[in-house]
């Protein structure tokens, strides 16, 4: 194999080295540009690869845009907001991002990112989400509904929620 061989990341479409975040699914090798794309594929492979005669949503060019507001435990100063903006913007699938005080509004493609992944990047960047019971319940509901929607989008029998 040539050192210049590149393969397509089926989640985001980038061309990557075959040994970049590799995984094998049903006897076929796949490579990804990032752990984020790898995790999206491993969790729901049939969003990205179809079955004979059934192209996957990603293969059809589908985007599933979600707009979510995340409430932080405190307002961010300008430097904190810039650092957080850079961390979230670096994720695949982020369309728009607005940070105003303790509120962050993100529009993202559900086929490339989830609210749960965005929350993980927030935590890695040192931002803490609001921790009241209503906010935790709201986040749990968002995670559940995204999981259901993803399950319904996969090619083949629906999985998860009905």
DSSP 20-40: SS-EEETTEEE--SSHHHHHH
Contacts of 99 (CB under 8 A, 6+ apart): 76, 81, 84, 85
> Model's pTM, two decimal places?
0.83
Confidence at residue 50, expressed as pLDDT on a 0 to 100 scale:
84
Ranges in the chain, pLDDT < 50: 1-2
Confidence at residue 132, expressed as pLDDT on a 0 to 100 scale:
84
CATH assignment of 65-153?
Answer: 3.30.70.100
Confidence at residue 28, expressed as pLDDT on a 0 to 100 scale:
92
Residue 60 CA to residue 38 CA, distance in Å, equals 20
Confidence at residue 7, expressed as pLDDT on a 0 to 100 scale:
94
Confidence at residue 96, expressed as pLDDT on a 0 to 100 scale:
97
Domain boundaries, the chain: 7-43, 65-153
């Amino acid at each position: 194999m040539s050192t210049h061989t590149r393969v397509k990341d089926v989640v985001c479409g980038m061309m990557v080295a075959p040994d970049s975040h590799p995984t094998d699914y049903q006897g076929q090798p796949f490579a990804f540009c990032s752990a984020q794309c790898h995790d999206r594929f491993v969790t729901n492979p049939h969003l990205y690869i179809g079955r004979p005669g059934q192209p996957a949503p990603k293969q059809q060019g589908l985007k599933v845009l979600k707009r979510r507001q995340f409430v932080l435990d405190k307002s961010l100063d300008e430097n904190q907001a810039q650092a957080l903006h850079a961390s979230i913007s670096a994720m695949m699938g982020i369309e728009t991002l607005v940070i105003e005080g303790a509120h962050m509004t993100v529009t993202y493609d559900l086929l490339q990112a989830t609210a749960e992944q965005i929350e993980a990047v927030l935590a890695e960047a040192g931002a803490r989400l609001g921790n009241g019971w209503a906010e935790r319940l709201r986040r749990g509901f968002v995670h559940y509904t995204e999981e259901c929607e993803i399950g319904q989008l996969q090619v083949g029998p629906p999985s998860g929620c009905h």
